[in-house]
Structure 1
């Protein structure tokens, strides 16, 4: 029997793929997402699907906004996917395909089609949802829920700004896919709340870093001002030259 990969194995794989340090405010977010993906990847009931990939990409991109140095973002995502045996390019390609398809639909039309998934096309987003609805067992995850939320957001951004509107669409979606509606609603409420809290933490961190830069600049100015008098002292005159001119 093959040994099941542990969380420690996954973390080692991640840091081997991305050995550069990660800013402290983001490190916890990355590790929590990594553990969540790990636990799903080793769960016998879990099956990868594009909506899960969309959830992963969305969570990563939302929480990594403002990360510096920006050039490390792609490396971190590559390492994250690789650490759980995934392919970052595949994740992003499938996420983009679903977002593109969703942007051409309305939430009302989407939900209407979902209520008749038994006759839905076998391709694209509806095909993916039909396959999920037809499974005897489906391992629901928070990341899958975020994928559904992202679909709605690309159909109409106003939907996700109103709890009332969001609930109007989530309930029939959950029923059509045989998902736990209350858990889906709760997961998305927590996710949105965490986004708000993280955005606030980013503002605080940005203020702290700006204040530190100002203090550093002031220290440099103070050192420069202290050094100026010595630098500005005129060069001593040559006494020999003075006496020579007087004798003439």
Structure 2
């Protein structure tokens, strides 16, 4: 059986005239001798503000590691993941997860990194989109647990915080979403803390997961107008240009994920048909013999 490999990237793909393209950035290779679906997936992060702050939310404290802890290497994080989840993972998912965990390791152990629920919402959104259609729901959850634990964070907190923000966003509209600073509440407090840190009064490390988290809030609040995003970024002290760029890539990623899974399904169906065609003459001969 020909290998199906995968990786995903937000970078611009190169293109060969002899290759049929599918980009995330991606390249689709289909030939008479072998079939492979290949993707490259890469998240980068940007630092916004590096000064310390005394205003640390309870949600952030639970996921933050002690400064005295030695920083693990990328290899150690990957090994922790493999130790925690020992079952085989289909290559189209495994290659992506291996690259993704390397990129998130680099975000996780930046000096300016501090967990926040919007980041968690962004990662959960990306993970669920990536693993949508995985053969086993139970395994998909187990992989999520192993992945977050390998980064020495709390997978349950990721899920709880993501759900909390989703429920809050569903109750918002275009106006209330950007007026969080004038209201009291748990999620409002989370957003205020982010705005304070991103404004230079504490540690804040912007990343594409954070941008996806913002996108998810807007989506659930049915507030997709560009002006709303601009006002929300201003309220959070986030660079809108960076968010726009990352959201364009994320939207492209979603469409390419759909195409990737369609390619995989086509490949599996084609291989199944070939096996059936090979076994049919054998069945006919056995019937004649009998």
The aligned counterpart of 1:101 is 168
Which aligned pairs between 1:1-248 and structure 2 lie closer than 5 A? 2-111=69-178, 113-114=179-180, 117=181, 119-121=182-184, 123-135=185-197, 136-137=201-202, 138-156=204-222, 159=224, 165=225, 167-231=226-290
Which has the larger strand fraction? 2
Name the CA distance, whole Å, in 1 between partners of 2:109 and 2:91. Answer: 27
Count of aligned positions: 219
Query: Deviations along 1:193-243, whole A, 9 cap, x unmatched?
Result: 112112111111101101111222232332111110111xxxxxxxxxxxx
Point out where structure 1 has 5 or more consecutive residues left out of the alignment: 160-164, 232-248
Q: What RMSD over aligned residues (CA atoms) do the two structures have, in Å?
A: 1.7
The aligned counterpart of 1:238 is none
Query: Deviations along 1:11-51, whole A, 9 cap, x unmatched?
Result: 00001111122211112321232123211221111111111
The aligned counterpart of 1:234 is none
State the TM-score, normalized to the length of structure 2. Answer: 0.71
Higher RCO (CA 8 Å, separation ≥ 6 residues) = 2
Please say which structure displays the higher CA radius of gyration.
1
User: Structure 1 runs of 4+ off > 2 angstroms?
Assistant: 68-71, 217-222
Query: Deviations along 1:86-129, whole A, 9 cap, x unmatched?
Result: 12122111111111111111123312x14xx2x331x3221111
Contact kept in structure 1, 2:177 and 2:232, CA below 8 Å: no
* SS across alignment from 2:206: coil
How far 1:52 moved relative to its partner? 1.1
Name the CA distance, whole Å, in 1 between partners of 2:72 and 2:84. Answer: 17
The aligned counterpart of 2:11 is none
State the TM-score, normalized to the length of structure 1. Answer: 0.83
Contact kept in structure 1, 2:212 and 2:247, CA below 8 Å: yes
Name the CA distance, whole Å, in 2 between partners of 1:127 and 1:33. Answer: 30
Which has the larger helix fraction? 1
CA distance 1:170–1:28, change in 2 (3 Å): farther
Compare 102-111 and 77-86 and name the one that shifted more.
102-111
CA distance 1:2–1:100, change in 2 (3 Å): closer
